[in-house]
Amino acid sequence: MTNPAFSGATRETRNVHCVDNTYTWNEAFTVFLDVLNNKCDGDGTTLCTRAKDCKNIGSGKCGLDGHRDWSIPNIKELQSIVGKVSANPLPPAKNPARSR
């Protein structure tokens, strides 16, 4: 199943930093994470395993912002992060977070 938020980009035009590109959920785990973790930051095409591989390429860092441990939460992890969403949230006057 394709999630509308992750569909439409072609492999020829795909760049994970482009807001117009979208991915299937499976591609988020393969294509998207591969670029975040295994490509030179600021370049998105040059493979790397360490910062030395990215000397004079993009920002000179291997992985997005120099980190190679990016991940996407599974459904259980996501639910623990965002919690349960109420279909009928409290109106602003009764919701302390919204009445500030």
pLDDT digits (tens, 9 = 90+) for 71-100: 888 878 877 887 666 556 656 665 555 545
Residue 85, judged by CB atoms within 10 A of its CB (0-12, 13-18, 19+), counts as exposed
- State yes or no: pLDDT of 68 exceeds 60: yes
- State yes or no: pLDDT of 54 exceeds 80: yes
When comparing pLDDT for 15 and 56, which is higher?
Answer: 56
